[in-house]
Amino acid sequence: AQERTLDRDCTTLSRHVLQQLQSFSAEAQDLSALMTRIALAAKLISRRLSRAGLVEGVLGVTGTVNVQGESVKKMDIYANDVFISVFKQSGLVCRLASEEMEKPYYIPENCPIGRYTLLYDPIDGSSNIDINLNIGSIFSIRKQEGDDLNGEAEDLLQNGQKQIAAGYILYGPSTMLVYSIGTGVHSFTLDPSLGEFILSKENMQVPDHGPIYSVNEGNFWQWDESIRDYIRYVHRHEGYTARYSGALVGDFHRILSQGGVFLYPGTLKKPEGKLRLLYETAPLAFLMEQAGGRASTGTQNLMEVVPKALHQRTPLIIGSKEDVALVESFIQERA
Query: Choosing among ligand AHG, Mn ion, none, which partner's interface includes residue 216 (Cβ < 5 to 8 Å by kind)?
Result: ligand AHG
The binding site consists of 99, 121, 123-127, 216, 244, 274, 280
Is residue 126 part of the contact set for ligand AHG (CB under 6 A)? yes
Cα 203 from Cα 211, distance rounded (Å):
21
User: Which CB, 110 or 264, lies closer to ligand AHG?
Assistant: 264
Per CB under 6 A, does 247 bind ligand AHG?
yes
User: Cβ neighbours of residue 194 under 8 Å, at least 6 residues apart?
Assistant: none
- Dihedral angle sign, alpha carbons of residues 242, 247, 251, 252: positive
Report helix angle 282-290 to 248-258, nearest 10: 10
What character string, x for contact with ligand AHG (CB under 6 A) and - otherwise, covers 140-179?
Answer: ----------------------------------------
Q: What are the angstrom distances between the C-alpha of 312 and each of 68, 127, 211, 320?
A: 10, 21, 31, 25
Does residue 70 bind Mn ion (CB under 5 A)?
yes
Backbone phi, then psi, for 154, in 5-degree steps? -60, -25
Contact positions with ligand AHG (CB under 6 A) in 87-106 = 99
Residues comprising the chain, all counted: 335
- Least distance (Å) from ligand AHG to the CB of residue 319? 13
Question: 129 and 112 in contact (C-beta within 8 Å)?
Answer: no
Answer for which of 36, 159, 216, 222 binds ligand AHG (CB under 6 A) is 216
Judged by beta carbon, residue 72 or residue 86, the one nearer ligand AHG is 72
- Complex with Mn ion: residue 107 or 278, whichever CB lies closer: 278
The answer to whether residue 124 forms part of the interface with Mn ion (CB under 5 A) is yes
Q: Which residues pair with 121 in a beta bridge?
A: 138
How many chain residues bind Mn ion (CB under 5 A)? 5
The reply on whether position 121 binds Mn ion by CB under 5 A is yes
Rounded distance, CA 106 to CA 271, Å? Answer: 32
Q: Report yes or no: 79 and 87 within 8 Å, Cβ to Cβ.
A: no
Shortest distance (Å) from residue 310 CB to ligand AHG: 15
Residue positions in the annotated binding site for substrate?
124-127, 216, 244, 274
- Taking CB under 6 A as the rule, does residue 313 contact ligand AHG? no
d(CA 281, CA 127): 18
Tell me if 123 sits within 8 A of 79, measured CB to CB: yes
Cβ atoms of residues 318 and 251 within 8 Å = no
Confirm or reject binding of residue 70 to ligand AHG (CB under 6 A).
yes
Per CB under 6 A, the list member of 30, 121, 148, 289 interacting with ligand AHG is 121
Main-chain phi, psi angles of 193, to 5 degrees: -70, -25
Instruction: Report in angstroms how near the CB of residue 70 gets to Mn ion at its nearest.
Output: 4
CB of 299 to ligand AHG, least distance (A): 21
Q: Decide if residue 246 touches ligand AHG (CB under 6 A).
A: yes
By CB under 5 A, tell whether 99 contacts Mn ion: yes
Instruction: Quote the CA–CA distance of 168 and 302 in Å, as a whole number.
Output: 18
Give first-to-last CA distance, the chain, whole Å.
46
Binding site for ligand AHG (CB under 6 A): 70, 99, 121, 124-126, 216, 246-248, 274
Binding site for Mn ion (CB under 5 A): 70, 99, 121, 123-124
